[in-house]
Structures are given as structure tokens and as C-alpha cells.
Amino acid sequence: MADDVPTKQKCVYCSKREAVTREHVIARCFFDKQPDYHIVVPTCIECNSGSGDGVERPLSMDEEYLRTVLCLHAGSYGHPVANAIVCDKIARSFQRRPSGLRKSLANASHPGIIEHKGIIIPGQNIIEIDTARVFRVMRKITKGLYYHHNKVALPEDCDVQMQIQVPPNEFYEWLALFKLCSFVGPFMAGDGVFSYMGIRQMNDHTTSLWLATFYNRFTCLLVTARKTMRTICFADKDKPEPIMVLELKRSADGSSSK
């Protein structure tokens, strides 16, 4: 929980209750040493405590779940912060809740093949991420980033969608095409712990794309758009034809394909 909100306004996350405090957009559990600057946004008590979205499980548990899965993965690639968190915070979590964490990871892992730098390594354990839990965390982050850069909450008639593991080079290709979009970032928090960049339509800021990366390994493409929209079109003001069209295919857990 961060500082109290000095003026009355609605919560950034639920848009229903009064915002009386501030909350960290990127949870502190993702860092081993806290950065000098945290993005905080005005929230209500319920959303700050992780129960404002109606899910019985506290959001902090999903944030810790995502942190644990990502660090176990990124740590294997030598990310220093991920390694430090595995040896400290995650190790202590296993000591506090050994059966629950082991069961969660055991159910999510299965044998598979890993390819790294052109080298194929068979017989490795692969962890399948619980998409619903990841989306819950990333939806919160997207709403927080949206408010941070637009200074208004995402309207209630809009929603967030997510696509996991989008190659960053694809996003850079899109950026070259979005002549009418405002550019946000890239910004980084911590030693490569979290970085993001965003683009948005100048004539409708509710339509935006965000590329978020944890530990230089895990990348999500996040989309905000009105719930009634089925496609997002970007066009040059001097040309009627669109320069890019994204099709939105919504699913129950918030994941999408484009």
C-alpha cells in the first residue's frame, strides 16, 4: 500500500469505489531490491488488498505465482535478479507453504524439449503457465499503465486482452507502421525486471497496445479496446485504407489471438 490519495476520485481498477490509497502497478514481489521509482495509481481499499475484482483468491497470490514461474524459468537463463529471487524469496515461500507450491508446480510441469540458441535439449521439464492467473495480473498492470500515461482510468466499456510470448521484433515492426499512434516508452523498472512500451490511437486513446516483458524473457502483448470492437484498424490520416488491422478474438480467460 502506498500513500493516501489527497483528492476524491474513482479507483483506477474497478471504476466503482472511491480511491482512498495508492497501489503499486508492478508488485514489489517481482523485485529483489526495490527500484528507486515505483509506478503507483489511486485505488480503493478492496482493489489494493487484491479482492476488488470479485475473485476469492487474493491477487497477491497470483502475482507471487507468476513471479515464481517466471523466475524459475528466467533464472535458468542466468538472469541475476531472477536467480536472487529463487534463492531468497521463493526458497522462503517453499519453506512456508511447501505442499501447496510443490503441488502447483508439479501439476503445471511436464516433460518436453527446449531449444536455446539453436541447441535442442530433450527430456527437460516444461512449466505450463496458468493463463487465467497470468491474465488477472497483467490486466491489473495494463489498467495501471493506461492510467499512468493517460491520466484517466480505462473506461468501463473497454476491456483488456492478452497474447503470451509475442516476439519483440514483431512489435518493433508494428511501431514502424503506426504513424498516427502516440509512442510510450520503452521504460524499465529494476535491473531488467520489468520493461514496457506502448502505442495508442491518437483519435481514440482507449485503443492501445502494450508490450510488457519480465526478466528479459517473458513477453506479453496487451490490448485495450472497447468491448464491442472486433477489429482494430490503424490508418494514415491522408489515406483511407488501413495500414494495419488486428482481429480481436476474445476468450473467457482474456487471452486472444491476432
- Structurally, the chain folds into a number of domains equal to 1
C-beta of residue 73 within 8 angstroms of C-beta of residue 127: yes
What gap in Å lies between CA 108 and CA 129, rounded to an integer?
7
Task: State which residues form the domain around 242.
Answer: 151-247
Residue 170 in domain? yes
What gap in Å lies between CA 45 and CA 22, rounded to an integer?
9
Q: Please, what sign has the CA dihedral across residues 158, 132, 30, 18?
A: positive
Residue 171 in domain? yes
Q: Choose among 138, 202, 140, 141: nearest CA to 164.
A: 138
Residue 224 in domain? yes
Residue 31 in domain? no
Residue 14 in domain? no
The amino acid occupying position 129 is I
**pLDDT for the residue 102:** 58
Residue 182 in domain? yes
Q: What is the pLDDT of residues 185-220, one digit of tens each?
A: 789 988 889 999 888 776 778 888 888 989 988 888
Answer with the residue of higher pLDDT: 224 or 89.
224
Residue 138 in domain? no
Residue 129 in domain? no
